[in-house]
Structure 1
Amino acid sequence: MPHPHPSRRAVLTTAAATTAALAGTIPAAAARGSSPTAADSRRIREVIRRMGLEEKVGQLFVMRIYGSSATDPDPADVAANQSEIGVANAAELIAKYHVGGIIYFAWAHNTQNPDQIADLSNGIQRAALAQATPVPMFISTDQEQGAVERIGAPATTFAGGMALGANGSPGDARTAARVIGTELAAMGVNQNYSPVSDVNINPANPVIGVRSFGADPQAVATLAAAQVKGYQSAGIASTAKHFPGHGDTGTDSHFALPIITHTLEQWQQIDAPPFRAAIAAGIDSIMTAHILVPALDDSGDPATLSHPILTGILREQLGYDGLVVTDSLGMEGVREKYGDDRVPVLALKAGADQLLNPPLLDVAYQGVLDAVKSGELTEERIEVSLTRILGLKFRNGLFADPYVTHAGVRRSVGTRSHLATADRVTDRGITLLTNDAGLLPFPRRSHRDLLVVGADPAAPSGTGGPPTAVLAKAFSELGHPAQALSTGTAPSQAVIDQAVAAAQGKDAVIVATYNVTAAAPEQIALVTALTATGVPVVQLAIRNPYDIAYLPPVAASLAGYGWTDVTLRAAARVIAGTVRPTGRLPVAVPRADDPATALYPIGYGLRY
């Protein structure tokens, strides 16, 4: 059932010159962002004519690879690649499987620092352009910001989707995407799997949550369209996800197959608007969801494998003819019903173009080859998707010059201007929910001795440390000396006692809470014990904004929607009073004892 409050991308090498000659030499600036021309179509057909079937099929796959170098990764990464993929490095991956794209992950050691990322990207492109049919690569990542962020500092980081929803400004959303896109492009990343376009109307959603702009379909649509324009104005491909809408589920599709029970009318009203808006904004690619939506297809197949959804609705009804990329084929939500050899075949039959990160590439690749050889898939069908893939590579200038430089990294990545923009945009999303004791803002020219306690979830590499430490440092730099004490998401009684003792003599305690629920009462016990000391308590929700519904009354409560440095510093500025709170809830906060009733509605937010 839907929740009752449906509140939201140098030097051109010899290999590259060969590619440009094959494609027809065109200036990179003219190629990016332009519509396909008749000349482009002829060049695409010529590239395809030179390909064998194995190359055509390989271009459809986007694959992970371990290591920070395309040809010389660390021994441990070589071992991981050989174990999982049967190759030693990215260059071997491209030579063996002819893949059309590689996806970067921090855990795969792809994203250690901007110069390294640029070098890896260049190495991948050199390997791709050294093949018999030289075709530049899509290099992608999930740089949503906030909860899902593959590249951290010194690159510029913004708060995530829900914080932008609380900010509410399409201009700020577009600016954030343009900055992120500009920095990705400087590092050689030319396809970003963002923005998340799911309408998160279920507070219990375990996989979307703060990745979404919010629970109001039209607000999500407006911000999604703004980010599409921002990313693509920076010369990279943007990806709206997860079609047909992953916002109302209590199941994580990484581990199981969720069912969305929306009627067709509810889907049209709640889930469809952001994707319609993204298409109208000229979105380059749309990512599928591994979810069941019986009202759209009652076959029992997930949307990724559904012809009625990907072709009937997305292509025919919504009129979308851009790239369709699957969500990761290693997720259990798409593997429950069919084998890993069948999943990519069925995704192509449904209408997908790019096959993302299969668990066993040899099985998936051979599965598609076998389907073509048996006649289940035609070579013409493969070429339809290949034409879309090559067309976007042409339009985004990759055939003209796919390379980046360290000088370009220095000009674009983590600049003072970009960092200042991120601070301003993030400031405007911090939401003040309660201030009953009038504690905030802290008086000017009068310091407060503070204790910062709470949860310390893992943050991206390159951050300043655990959230409590980042908050304490931020307060101290603002003139309010602060001690940090990490109590975790499930503090023991001994840890609670330690926090209570540390609070003695402080002017206020800042508690960072993280996804508080009645089923896990330890954080509730911590806040309860701290309020009993008589020291004013300020509670800051550093992920979902629903925590306040489960907690005892505190002096003040805020929603930050994230726990990366940029958000924590913004929250400190608001609490200290150097920035006024302007954020408004982009989702409703339901009562803990009556989830059908809003404790705080969409649009709520205090000022001072």
Structure 2
Amino acid sequence: MSGDLYRLAMTVLHPGYEGTSAPDWLRRALGEGLGGVVLFARNAIDDRLIRDFRAENPDTVVSVDEEGGAVTRLEVMAGSSFPGNRALGVVDDVKLTEQVGRQIGRMLADLDITLNYAPSADVNSDPANPVIGVRSFGPTPELVSRHTVAYVNGVQGAGVAACAKHFPGHGDTITDSHLALPTVHASREVLAERDLPPFRAAIDAGVRSIMSGHLLIPALDPSMPATLSRTAMTELLRGELGFDGMLVTDAIEMRAVAAMFDPGEIAVRALGAGVDAICVGLSTEESLHAIRDAIVAAVRNGTLPEERLAQAAERVRALSSWYAAQAALRQEVHDDVDEGVGLRAARAALTTQGSATLDRGPLVVEINTRFSKAVDPATPTGITAALTSLLPDTERVQLEPEGGELPAFDERPVVLVAHDAARHAWVRDTVARALALRPDAIVVDTGIAAAPEGATHVATHGISRVSALAAAEWLLR
């Protein structure tokens, strides 16, 4: 194995790992040219950890999913300080979206994180979508396009690279790609008019990275998911849309592709399709070496041209170089602290029906839904915590997913906390049963909402600490 080929293969691999400190094998891999590391909440992210990475390889592309709202890795226990995309789309103030993006970018810059896997540029055209939902700015390409650009400008204006995802668009699916392969049944014309405009807009705005979606789109390629399709990745994204930045896969252990091929084969096919960086959400030394060796073997046997691997590695290095060149900008924005922007945005996003004023602690009934795999399991909806901070005698009851027996109601006020009522008939039925017993109950929905007729209803349009606080303030006003 030539040292150069080995190093090229390592450069395009961007693994995640288990544990709160950098394992020895990861340190060794960084010293051997590993191109990137992907961080999750389980890794206890702080500046010391990232200094450890950079001590081994100063050019490491350190990446994280910090969308704001439901998808946060840095604020997972308390909830995000920023509302998610749907809330920003409801407000529809691009200046505010850019300010939120800038503060998220500033937070990452202070930790020396290279790349934010955000924003979601997906148009949530199917309200039943199980994985995008409130992670999208909304249901129309025009709305999503202008806020994608604003978010990209905000993050990159703080000296951190942004990443528009999930190309060519994950909004028109009823399957979560973490669990199975979704199919987008749309013509090329519909894709061009509905799904591609936000990505075109992001490219025109200079987005440094794009993430592929594990999506089968027969109009583009009837046999391979977009991540593994040269038609989607090279002909469409590189050729037609003109993107020349770093193209990264969504995590390759997701069942949409993992059910088809082993990790090494996925990596080789993705690189051949035109992808530059392989995101491996959870890796070990053995699995990392297996993927590396599969890439090297593919080059040696002619399956993967060495020129394609070299081009991919160069795009990874180019992203790292861009980040290094933004050092002065990151220093400039270090003191540009706007601690209130997230709460201002969350307050502006509230949609309300009816009226109510809580004067004592309510009984909060959480009608729990299972969040998508993109959301860390520890992420709270936050409504109960926000109400308790204002009314200490607040009490919570949690119902199991798919329903469950309602608690016995007494004279206390009742707050029903739902998520994605528009998506789940059982959530709507549970709310209706509760309202039949307590017509004065207040309904708070943190997702894609469906307001019950005649009830007091608050929609936050997302899960975050500030969205919960904004709702609690409204209920106590």
TM-score, reference length from structure 2:
0.89
Aligned to 1:38: none
Aligned to 2:28: 92
Identify if the C-alpha distance between structure 1 residues 272 and 54 changes in structure 2 by more than 3 Å, giving closer, same or farther: same
> 1:544 offset after TM fit, Å?
2.2
Aligned to 2:340: 420
> 1:235 offset after TM fit, Å?
0.6
| Residues 376-407 of structure 1 deviation map (CA, whole Å, 9 limit, x = unaligned) | 22322222122222222112217989xx9xxx
* Distance in 2 between residues matched to 1:201 and 1:155, nearest whole Å: 27
* Equivalent in 382, 401, 404 of residue 467 of structure 1: 382
> 1:126 offset after TM fit, Å?
0.3
| SS across alignment from 1:314 | helix
Identify if the C-alpha distance between structure 1 residues 150 and 529 changes in structure 2 by more than 3 Å, giving closer, same or farther: same
* Distance in 2 between residues matched to 1:399 and 1:99, nearest whole Å: 22
- The structure whose Rg is larger is 1
Aligned to 2:433: 528
> 1:466 offset after TM fit, Å?
6.5
Identify if the C-alpha distance between structure 1 residues 394 and 466 changes in structure 2 by more than 3 Å, giving closer, same or farther: closer
Contact 2:421 2:449 in 1 (8 A): no
* Equivalent in 294, 299, 314 of residue 387 of structure 1: 314
Contact 1:472 1:483 in 2 (8 A): no
* Distance in 1 between residues matched to 2:378 and 2:173, nearest whole Å: 32
Contact 1:195 1:228 in 2 (8 A): yes
Name the amino acid aligned to 1:125.
R
> 1:238 offset after TM fit, Å?
0.4
Name the amino acid aligned to 2:312.
S
* Distance in 2 between residues matched to 1:520 and 1:317, nearest whole Å: 41
Question: Where do residues 563-582 of structure 1 align in structure 2 (5 Å cutoff)?
Answer: 563-577=463-477
Name the amino acid aligned to 2:443.
Q
Structure 1, gaps ≥5 residues long = 1-49, 72-87, 112-116, 130-135, 578-608
| Residues 244-286 of structure 1 deviation map (CA, whole Å, 9 limit, x = unaligned) | 0110000111111111011111111110110010001000000
Contact 1:197 1:274 in 2 (8 A): yes
Residue 126 in structure 1 maps to residue 60 in structure 2: no
| SS across alignment from 1:545 | coil
Identify if the C-alpha distance between structure 1 residues 354 and 294 changes in structure 2 by more than 3 Å, giving closer, same or farther: same
Contact 1:155 1:183 in 2 (8 A): no
Aligned to 1:139: 62
Aligned to 1:110: 44
Moved more, 322-331 or 385-394: 385-394
Question: Where do residues 203-352 of structure 1 align in structure 2 (5 Å cutoff)?
Answer: 203-298=127-222, 300-352=223-275
Structure 2, gaps ≥5 residues long = none
Question: Where do residues 56-205 of structure 1 align in structure 2 (5 Å cutoff)?
Answer: 56-70=8-22, 88-95=24-31, 98-107=33-42, 109-111=43-45, 117-129=46-58, 136-152=59-75, 157-205=81-129
Aligned to 2:459: 559
Identify if the C-alpha distance between structure 1 residues 110 and 51 changes in structure 2 by more than 3 Å, giving closer, same or farther: farther
Percent identical residues: 31
* Equivalent in 339, 362, 368 of residue 450 of structure 1: 362
* Equivalent in 420, 425, 437 of residue 515 of structure 1: 420
| SS across alignment from 1:148 | coil
* Distance in 2 between residues matched to 1:310 and 1:144, nearest whole Å: 23
Identify if the C-alpha distance between structure 1 residues 378 and 462 changes in structure 2 by more than 3 Å, giving closer, same or farther: closer
Name the amino acid aligned to 1:566.
V
Identify if the C-alpha distance between structure 1 residues 92 and 454 changes in structure 2 by more than 3 Å, giving closer, same or farther: same
* Distance in 2 between residues matched to 1:521 and 1:375, nearest whole Å: 53
Name the amino acid aligned to 2:169.
G
| SS across alignment from 1:341 | helix
Contact 2:127 2:423 in 1 (8 A): no
Identify if the C-alpha distance between structure 1 residues 460 and 306 changes in structure 2 by more than 3 Å, giving closer, same or farther: closer
| Residues 179-218 of structure 1 deviation map (CA, whole Å, 9 limit, x = unaligned) | 0011111112110000000001111111111111110110
* Distance in 2 between residues matched to 1:217 and 1:363, nearest whole Å: 40
